[in-house]
Structure 1
Amino acid sequence: MKLLYIVPNINNEGGVARILSLKTNYFITQCGYEVHILTQNNGNTPLFYSFHEDVLFHDMQLKGAAPLFAFQYYKALNQYISLIKPNCILVCDNGLKAFLLPFLVRRKIPLLLEIHSSIHVQEHPSSHAVFNSLKQNLQYHFKKYAAQKYTKVVFLSNESALEWNVRKKAIIPNPLWFAVNSAAPLSSRKVIAVARNTYEKGLDRLLPIWKEVVALYPSWKLELYCGNYQDLEVLARELGIQDSVVFLDPTKTIQEVYLQAATYVMTSRYECFPMVLLEAMAAGVPCVAYDCPCGPRAIINHCVDGLLVEDGNQDEFIKQLQLLMRNEMLRLEMGKKAQDTSNAYQIEHIMPEWQKLIKSLK
């Protein structure tokens, strides 16, 4: 069995790259598959995560304005497909070109689209409300139409599938990439967040919340593992909280960070299936998250193993975060249940579903 993954890039610390390294390793070692990964514009060097040595990497150079870019994509895509001759193509790209792909591939090969973001995702704020609304609406309808052209669309949760209303679908959550044999003691005075510093991840929404929280809990610290945080440092200084916020680069030993935390926070504007929540929960760390479209509610059971807050309700987020900060027994109770919830996402439970799906397409 030959698999070809098509993804914009995997040379970053993002969740897609991490999960792809995990899944391709499983397919090679446990299933005996041949795995190829096709990126663009040097998107596979240097790698942040470790991929199996037998993974075969390819890269297509795409430059220029939209018409030239699209032609280059069409040409390179079919050249690599002809060269590799995969039994199945898996697309991990939720940009517009991923939805063009079913119309561009010349060979009749099963095509799987993995959905890793909300259909409503907006990568940048817009100052033109009317234009932005029209653009988003056109993209929304095109994505829904084009997704139907795939052999199957794989969603990470039922909540994600409901956004798309695709007929040919499968629901397979992402697996946890590490097993934690101990739980965080939750006795530190440390709140953490792990995310790329992008509009989508909403870290700019977290700092005003922390300003109000730390006024009552001045001995606590907020640690942000995000990288590229210069603009957030400026915002922290403007808010007068620079002494209580620590900005850090991404780390490959993030599991050790979770074990030192008391609470995890997420203020994303959009998500799909945020692995950082599961990772924190696997370490026994309770989470507070905005109930944004559409990932946190697929993972957190509100008031059981974590807390969900109405999206954008800053006052309620402050209230819920303070509740966990002042109540260590509640943290311990929720943390234990969070760890129990995370057990269902161990790799031995998830990857056989992928193997079954791929075999069904032959």
Structure 2
Amino acid sequence: MKLVYIFSSFAAKGGTERIFCDKMNWLAEVAGYEIVFVTYEQGNHPFAYPLSNKIRHVDLNTRFFTTGTMSLLKRIRFKFTMPRLFKHRLRKLLDEIQPDVVVSTTYALFLFREILSQPYRHVVESHVYYQLLLQNTFTHISWLDRKIARHLLEMLKRCEKVVVLTHKDAACWKGYDNIEVIHNVVTNYPEKITDVADRPKRIIAVGRLHAQKGFDLLIQSWQLIAARHPDWQLVVYGHGGDLQKLQQQLEEAGLTSSMTFAGATDNIYKEYQNSAFYVMSSRYEGWGLVLVEAMSCGLPCVSFDCPYGPSDIIRDGEDGLLVENGNIQQLAEKMELLINNKELRERLGVQARLNAARFTSDNIMPQWTKLFETIVQNDNH
């Protein structure tokens, strides 16, 4: 089986990049597929995560992001010439490779005409939910952007499959008969973890410091209960542009002694296992990989039931707790419930680790190989 994966660049350390890397490595190393990884804006940047040496990488060197620094006239010209150059270079490469399946993502929505016009079988992965895709910016005129996005998304009906991450998102793709749900993979499932009963009085959260992750809501929620639990700490790991704003909110709330923005870490699994439970305050998610990671370390998770992901991962009351989306008071109540009940934390944590195993490579990746092989077999018939 010969697959081509298309992604803009592999320079940023993000969740999607990590998932892409893990999947391609598994398919190359375990399934024995021939994988060609095609980027178009990588340049000379190093890879964010290590790729198997069995994977061939090609960069098309069509750096769309450079248009942001150009004059208006030059930018308009590049809006027309750059996609054509991308299409030409991609076609030449694909004709050389002759892949069985070409895999791209909805992050390349603005290039769908160029990608999907290639005469090969296409699978498109959507790592964000459908309604968010309609909010893509093309002209900065909201109604027109939405119309353009709908038109581009209609092209996906030509694909062999559109793979989404959650069942709730799948229900939003009305009129599409090619939707498949395959959850994301957690490849680092620790064989052994520290004893759940011995963990310190520490709550952990992880994510980019961005409005999507709702850390402003988390601060408000923590403010409601922090004074009653002076021996507990809430630590947030991640970096992003909202650090200064969040730090100011933290200071104004008088929480600097009990809540910390600790920056990024290279060993997040160590931090999971040094915590009593996990909290997610996101306004929306494509999936929620950090929930699965935390659960694999025996952490119960408290999460907003945001669109979409947490409800596909957490079984409410069995291995974690779901909270009405955006309900700050309820989030505080659920956090306090776990703070006050060590036995509940331990019971949920044990079950969380067991349930997280359903997202390991052994359970998820065969769904991908079955998908690819069915596509090729159907086409041959």
Post-superposition shift, 1:195? Answer: 0.8
Bigger drift between 245-254 and 262-271 goes to 245-254
Q: What is the percentage of aligned positions where both structures have the same residue? A: 29
Contact 1:192 1:222 survives alignment (8 Å)? yes
Pairwise CA distance, 1:71: 3.7
1:185-233: per-residue Cα shift (whole Å, max 9, x none)? 2531111111112222222221111222212112211111111333322
Whole-Å Cα distance in 1 between the matches of residues 232 and 314 of structure 2? 24
**How far apart in 2 are the matches of 1:69 and 1:219?**
56
Shift of 1:95: 5.1
Q: Does 2:278 correspond to 1:268?
A: no
Equivalent pair of 2:109/2:153 in contact (CA under 8 Å):
no
Please, which moves more after superposition, 115-124 or 15-24?
115-124
Q: Give me the whole-angstrom Cα distance separating, in 1, the residues matched to 2:363 and 2:118.
A: 33
Q: 1:75 is matched with which residue?
A: 85
Q: Determine the structure 2 residue equivalent to 1:306.
A: 320
- The correspondence of residues 124-273 of structure 1 with structure 2, limited to 5 A, is 134=143, 137-138=146-147, 141-142=150-151, 144-165=153-174, 166-184=176-194, 185=196, 187-228=199-240, 229-273=243-287
Partner SS state of residue 308, structure 1: strand
Contact 2:217 2:281 survives alignment (8 Å): yes
TM-superposed CA distance for 1:5, in Å, is 1.4
SS state at 1:141 partner: helix
Aligned in 2, Cα 1:35/1:305: closer, same or farther, shift over 3 Å?
A: same
RMSD, matched Cα: 2.6
Question: Do structure 1's residue 90 and structure 2's residue 93 form an aligned pair?
Answer: no
CA distance in 2, matches of 1:222, 1:329: 20
Q: Deviation at 1:169?
A: 2.0
Deviations 1:79-135 (A, max 9, x none): 1342243321111343532xx4155544311111111111223899x9xxxx65x46
CA apart distance, 1:67: 6.3
Give the deviation of 1:172 after TM superposition. 1.4
Equivalents in 2 of 1:81, 1:290: separation in Å?
A: 43
Question: Distance in 1 between the 2:160 and 2:105 partners?
Answer: 14
Structure whose CA Rg is larger:
2
1-10 or 318-327, which deviates more: 1-10
CA distance in structure 2 between the aligned counterparts of 1:26 and 1:4, rounded to whole angstroms: 14
Whole-angstrom CA distance in 1 between matches of 2:207 and 2:153 = 27
CA distance in 2, matches of 1:220, 1:24: 40
Question: Partners of 2:134 and 2:45 in 1: how far apart?
Answer: 24
Give, as a single letter, the amino acid of the residue that structure 1 aligns with 2:109.
L
Give the unaligned 5+ runs of structure 1.
none
The one-character-per-residue Cα deviations of 1:285-316 (angstroms, maximum 9, x if unpaired) are 00011111111111111111111111111111
Q: Which residue matches 2:30?
A: 30
SS in 2 for 1:91: strand
Structure 1 stretch 155-164 or stretch 269-278: which is displaced more? 155-164
In the alignment, structure 1 residue 113 sits paired with structure 2 residue 124: yes
Matched position secondary structure for 2:112? helix
Residue in 1 that maps onto 2:366: 352
Q: How many residues align?
A: 355
Distance in 1 between residues matched to 2:76 and 2:156, nearest whole Å? 21
Structure 2 portions without partners, runs of 5+: 68-74, 377-381
SS in 2 for 1:90: strand
* TM-score (norm: length of structure 1): 0.89
Separation in structure 2 between the aligned mates of residue 295 and residue 66 of structure 1, nearest angstrom: 38
Distance 1:339 1:91, change over 3 A: same
Q: Is the 8 A contact 1:119 1:140 kept in 2?
A: no
Q: Determine if contact 1:281/1:287 at 8 Å carries over to the other structure.
A: yes
Q: Per the alignment, do residues 106 and 138 of structure 1 end up closer, same or farther by CA in structure 2, a change over 3 Å counting?
A: closer
Paired with 1:16 and 1:281, the residues of 2 have a C-alpha distance of: 19
SS in 2 for 1:208: helix
With the length of structure 2 as denominator, give the TM-score of the two structures.
0.85
Alignment partner of 1:54: what SS? Answer: coil
| Alpha-carbon distance between aligned partners in 2 of 1:90 and 1:3, rounded to the nearest angstrom | 7
AA paired with 1:156? L
Q: Which has the higher helix share?
A: 2
